Amino acid sequence: MSEKYDLIIIGGGPGGLAAAELTAAKKKRVLIIEKDGWGGTCTHRGCIPTKALLSCSKHYADLKKLKRMGINIAEASIDFPAIKKHQQQIVKVSALGAQKILTDAGVETKQGTGEIISSSKVRFADSSGKSEILSAQNIMIAWGSVPQMLPGINLSDRVSTSDGILNLNLLPSSIIIVGGSVIGVEFATFFAELGAKVTIVEILDRIIPLEDQECADLLRQELIRMGVAIHTSTKLESLKDTGSSVVMSAQKDGKQLELSADYALLCTGRKPLLNTDELDKLGIEYTKAGIKIDSKMMTNVAGIYAVGDVTGGIMLAHRATQQAKVAAGFICQTNDFIYDENFIPSVVYSHPQIARVGYTQKRAEAEGLSIEVVKSNYSANIIARAELLGQGFVKAIFHQDRLIGATIVGDDAAELIAPLALAVSNELTRKQLSNWVLPHPTLSEIFASLFNG
């Protein structure tokens, strides 16, 4: 039977979920189709399992601080199956939370595959192959992304992407991580904190290439202190699973680098999931970077929207959510939301974390902006001292006395960036920020000296 929806969304990740919830709240009839797990990559293979794991390794690493605080504990040890159970439990809670949001909002759901066959029709097929054609006023593509593979490198039991490594049920004694960007350093932090011998191999001359150099340098120093070996300017040539180990060959400074380890993890980026046959048939424009959209998140085909990783750019869950809010506002004719890539904060959940919003110093300088850079160190903050948080700093970038960007490296950077994201997105001036009263004593007081000058 043909049914008419106001909106059919394909993909139940952060983008699809946000669009479904908001449009249903405006009394639209909404259907969301998901072929795998509710919550998408974020819940099942991304943000949530990795952060559950990183919280375990951080607690374990932080035990070393306790002795300095006068607390002696009996010998600590790792129960890896229990760590995995924690990961699975948190993923389950997140997936159930996603489902509850849909139910509470009155969104109709279907578990299976959605295929767009025209600007107003979607073919839905369940796992048994049973299919039906559904009609909608609007359609949204929220298919997400997949790991980017390297030519000539094959996945196996011992060579995996982030998807595969999250299913590993034993702690490797050694691991080679190919790629020193966000996902690579997060896994490096996790495995190194639990005692594995970690080697990062990165083709560029630095890790975390998109973030502030000085912050990345501090992180590099901390990773090395954890025992991570970092080979930058190193080009992977081959990676072979011998059955009992992996053997890697790479070029570094014109010399051959040979390494072996228990496992290898490819963290060489992600690419949008482009079902090109489907897009071509519909005449939807895309490049290999993603589906092209306008400021309303609409594709070149009227009534078909695309949000999240499938549109390329910085692949982050909250970016997908914001894009979905903008599209939902347009579909419901409320136009409540705005999307500005510059206001999307990004976080590297390594230890220490790196968090940024808006401009880095390098980007501002490249654009020829006259800027003032102000820095404040964790070492000058009494809570950072009391809690033995170690090194860290905030760097704020002002242009014409307005805060246009900030980067934080250090403990709790992910939480600290949130108020600065609000400040940057509202283009607050230094004078306005100087009246921001910060509770004492808190880590947030590191902001005080940035804005008082």
**Cβ closest to ligand FAD, residue 320 vs residue 371:** 320
Contact region with ligand FAD (CB under 6 A), list: 63-71, 311-319, 425-433, 443-451: 311-319
Residue with smaller CB distance to ligand FAD, 179 or 384: 179
Could you say whether residue 164 binds ligand FAD (CB under 6 A)?
no
Catalytic status, residue 231? no
Q: Which of 87, 94, 138, 162 binds ligand FAD (CB under 6 A)?
A: 162
Give yes or no for residue 223 binding ligand FAD (CB under 6 A): no
447 near ligand FAD, rule: CB under 6 A: no
306 binds ligand FAD (CB under 6 A): no
Check binding of 14 to ligand FAD (CB under 6 A). yes
Residue 160 sits at the vertex; the CA angle it makes with 142 and 205, to the nearest 5 degrees, is 90
The smaller minimum CB distance to ligand FAD, of residues 165 and 384, is found at: 165
Which residues inside 105-124 make contact with ligand FAD, applying CB under 6 A? 113-114
**List 143, 263, 393, 451, residue binding ligand FAD (CB under 6 A):** 143
Minimum CB separation of residue 305 from ligand FAD in Å reads: 12
Q: What is the x/- site pattern for ligand FAD, positions 16-45, by CB under 6 A?
A: x----------------xxxx---xxx--x
Q: Does 360 bind ligand FAD (CB under 6 A)?
A: no
For residue 136, the minimal CB distance to ligand FAD (Å) is 14
Residues 48-87 that bind ligand FAD (CB under 6 A): 50
The residues that are catalytic are: 440
Binding site for ligand FAD (CB under 6 A): 10-16, 33-36, 40-42, 45-47, 50, 113-114, 142-145, 162, 183, 273, 308-310, 315-318, 320, 349
